[in-house]
A and B are shown apart, each in its own frame.
Chain A
């Protein structure tokens, strides 16, 4: 049975996963770069990833109980993501593939999130809300591709929450802290609601929320209003995609999938349409190597082949550019 080792590196997380061809996850290990202050610093992230790459790969093989010679395929996150970070993961993957003399396949990070969700979230063909610090997209499969029905026009939702947390003095990680704060909020303060056609925008909500806190409003109330407004936009676009595609499953993935309120809202919406709602296990919602390994296997087994010189990273590789040959 074919075994694939997948390497994820698009932003904070350097992850390595080992998956076999029947979809069993043999290992899923990671290290996460945490900036001392502020947002992600690409050069520091790269140094962190380069330092821990060897150790995470070894750990994954140990956990999977395999030796290097058991690996039949190496896959890696070819994009989208931060250029220097992508190049680090790609370099590790190339080195490993050449040393083992096995094929290499670069996969799309966003598509991988959906695929691991389909594998482990018990969904066949869902409308997916992929909401993280780096991406916010509503995705559904249609005629050979994962189509983006709606996406953020400016900053990702996870980034909006993180920056808000930072600006009002909450420690890292910001998302969970904002969620805690929001639970104690009681008063809704009007924030700009931004659904434009099928797309979302969060930068206006963010600036207004910061302004409200600076103007003396209770941070609890602002956090509450921020979540309610931003999440409502995501759920509305997901609802439109669901109605349009007539699918009967809704999936939530990405780092912000940890947020209980967002889950609750999507579950309610799905229920109103008689659709099933699923969230994959959290370690497979956040960035991880297992999703890269699994998607690499799917792609390779459906005929994808790459020469080494075709493995340059693709920083802006869109979800809907990928021809999905395995479905």
Chain B
């Protein structure tokens, strides 16, 4: 088993299907393990890891049901704070988005908007929408990963934050194409979400202006 990511909350391992689940099957799987934290008492630690493990698995399954490609959940073990899921082989969108042919890139931006709208319509917010959390498979399929900060929330604010976070991620990592990319995301989001999309998009704008996440240019003492 090879560790591929050490996060603040969980570690990710790449493992053989055969070693983890069923000896007869080949291929790779991802194991997500929520690690115990010594700073908090065991009662809180156990409860949190258990709760978040089942929540994340449920969010991913519901997302898939809503038409958003996510890794397939193969096993959930709340007591062990473990999720085993299919491994999406491909590139992190973060590493390829800028270099894609323009037409293809535009289609992908629209796809992102469509997927976010589908999540929101299913009552889900992802909570960490960045291009690091999107995998572009060789087949062209775009897979959303890491629902670790996700939750069920249908408020305009939560949905607005989701859009805003994506915009921020685009602006910091893909600054050359961020303007067009976000416009396409939002346009397709509006098409898919339908009634009420405008309010969410405006809220995302307003959140950006709160100064919380972005640099404002004016001096503080003006």
Contact = CB atoms under 8 A, between A and B. Distances in A.
Interface of A: 105-106, 108, 143-145, 147-148, 188, 190, 193, 196-197, 228-229, 232, 235-236, 239-240, 242-244, 264-266, 268-269, 272, 304-306, 310, 317-318, 320-323
30 contacts: A106-B221, A145-B215, A147-B213, A148-B212, A188-B43, A188-B44, A193-B44, A193-B48, A196-B151, A197-B127, A229-B44, A232-B41, A232-B44, A235-B39, A236-B9, A236-B40, A239-B9, A239-B37, A240-B8, A242-B8, A243-B8, A244-B8, A265-B39, A269-B37, A272-B38, A305-B221, A317-B220, A320-B211, A320-B212, A321-B220
Interface string B141-184: 00000000101000000000100000000000000000000000
Contact of A144 (B39, B47, B215, B221): B215
Contacts of B216: 321
Nearest to A307: B221
Contacts of A147: 213
Contacts of B161: 197
A320 B219 CA distance: 12
Contacts of B37: 236, 239, 269, 272
B101 interface: no
A180 B48 CA distance: 26
A235 B43 contact: no
A268 B38 contact: yes
Sorted nearest first, the 7 A-B pairs with minimum C-beta distance are A243-B8, A268-B39, A232-B40, A188-B43, A265-B39, A240-B8, A269-B39
A210 to B, nearest CB: 20
Contacts of B40: 228, 232, 235-236, 265
B219 A197 contact: no
A322 B218 CA distance: 9
Nearest to B219: A323
B38 A304 contact: no
Most buried by A among B40, B221, B222: B221
B124 to A, nearest CB: 14
B7 interface: yes
From B7, B37, B38, B161, name the one whose CB has the most chain A CB atoms within 10 angstroms. B37
Contacts of A232: 39-41, 44
Given A240-B8, A243-B8, A228 B41 contact: yes
Contact of B211 (A197, A239, A318): A318
Contact of A321 (B43, B149, B211): B211
Contacts of A196: 151
A260 to B, nearest CB: 14
Contacts of A322: 220
Interface string B97-129: 000000000000000000000000000000100
B215 A190 contact: no
Contacts of A244: 8
Contact of B220 (A108, A188, A236, A305): A108
A228 B44 contact: yes
Contacts of B212: 148, 318, 320
A320 B210 CA distance: 10
Nearest to B211: A321
B150 to A, nearest CB: 9
B183 to A, nearest CB: 24
Contacts of B222: 310
A105 B220 CA distance: 11
Contacts of B39: 232, 235, 264-266, 268-269, 272
Contacts of B213: 147
Contacts of B151: 196
Contacts of A306: 221
A102 B6 CA distance: 53
B149 A197 contact: yes
Nearest to A324: B220
Contact of A188 (B41, B149, B219): B41
Interface in B41-78: 41, 43-44, 47-48
A108 B220 CA distance: 9
A272 to B, nearest CB: 7
B221 to A, nearest CB: 5
Contacts of A190: 43, 47
A190 B8 CA distance: 24
Nearest to A267: B39
B56 to A, nearest CB: 14
Contacts of B219: 323
Nearest to A188: B43
B76 to A, nearest CB: 21
A243 B221 contact: no
A143 B215 contact: yes
